[in-house]
Chain A
């Protein structure tokens, strides 16, 4: 064979094999994120382990001072329509009662369904339909208090972390039952579960806010007026709820998927018939963009024009509806929702698309091209200590600054990505943390205040120049030696992009 042919053959093989060999190493899937990732904004209602395991010492001192004796923990379900609720109460040996209920924030409408800061409120006088009470010792009561305390800064999520999940979590932690089997996630199922347990109490009071009072003399729960009468007969007075001023009935809030279903069904009737037809017997995926750019999905299943299922997603949706939180809030609050909807549609705040076949972007570029570009051209991320400059990336403006580490911060955001000089993300921090380090007279190391977490908008950095469908967003970076791994959200198949600095991607692999 002629030498020239051999050389050409070698050239062809090398061009294919060598970059592939280099790329294979970079396409290796890193360890699961859970092993090396910490949420910057922890969702401790879903997993409040850190708070449970690390209570502050002042609270620890309080619990150590609690008396021994018989406590009671009661689990409640309010199954009223359209808004239901689940909550607990803890009765102390001295008769003091503390009620706890987990709520979403009151501001906004749709945005607060997902990953919004939850609130623990005193539910001493909330309506209830069913309850189950257990006599417990001090240790179990403290466990319930610990759990309620852990949830007080928890994140509210309509599907994963609502008021009923809180109740269920307390039950799990204390080893008590709120359902014969399964995990209740909605007030209806919680009520059903409680009602099936021996010892469950149905609220016989006409005024559902009135508590069935525990009569310590007879050891039974009875209506308050009956207890007072019995106590008078015994020459003693009833002990009222001394837990403090009761909370007024909480105003209407969407708290659970059932509430959302009822809300949507209540509005569907006002929608013109031609629009109703669009949704009839369909599966619709609603993609809501919050004010901060975060995206969340809700899947609606229609039977006729009635919503029968509300879930975090839906398989093979017939339609995808893209909408902003603000637009949806205006529509549902409007007296004329149809006109408001059409206005939002005209403004582009709502977009409806028939389901598209799942298509994943094929990533061009190779390890060689990226490295060659980095070696031959100066990185836009080179910056001196103390310097600050603006960068335009993928249509957005970022501030690049270097106090201790190189930080890339999207304009208007409080979070900053810690990057290397070639643009590879190495972690995340916030301006608050940077400020605390700046103020500190003690010496912080460069690793101080740098964490790994799934990012959102900053993922655009790695895919500049590659067209991804709008609903496939980079959400999960994980720092590696010299590349960043991103997980694509959405689409039929989860996939990973392995990206390097300077906006080039090394390759593409499956999760």
Chain B
């Protein structure tokens, strides 16, 4: 079995089989890290360009490590240090990379649809590392991988995503991936941060966190972006924390073996307390490890689809 498209732009268009293929492929790659020589020659001779129009620590490093562990060559293009500051368009940048025979372009961009537009205009495989509020497929995949590893399955699990759903590409990718694999997905946040018609994706909407947490197996906590307060989407950070912060006490409503995820970076003490983030339920560090394995799997499978 292989992936149908040359690109990975989102989880909405992937079939459940394709998602499972990536998860199953990631498992043996995770094993590679435990060796003393953490490299396999699978993508030797291939070039991966990391085109990041937005700052990022974990995602960029994760992709870079994934590519290098597969023995690929990597190049980094961050917008501030490049022609983008001179006004070069996204498509022109893509074509320049293509002219240099790059095999993969991993793109992170502040605007929704950027990865789609790039993929349509260049022959290289495009991997969406997060475009605006649209999708962050590898994050969704690593979250699913983490849940599956800890819980043994996805189907039938109650998964809650908490926070600013409206502006979150992580939430969207999680929603598409988890519903496709049969999880019961709940979302919770202030009404002003829940996007229109989201129930049509099959999720259940809650405004009350206590209610939402009842009996859940997994809680995925989203980072609060402080700028949103200026847009009158919530009155203050304090109120957000009081109503939607994940604390040990609140977590008691969930199942006793609840798993806590967070895409990072954390705002400790706001959407999540240190007690929870560093506690036994937390798989946050595990997510980071799994991220490299999942990204190795994606590169490997897309190389096969090229």
Q: Do A and B come from one complex?
A: no
Instruction: Spell out B's residues near A (CB within 8 Å).
Output: none
Instruction: Spell out A's residues near B (CB within 8 Å).
Output: none
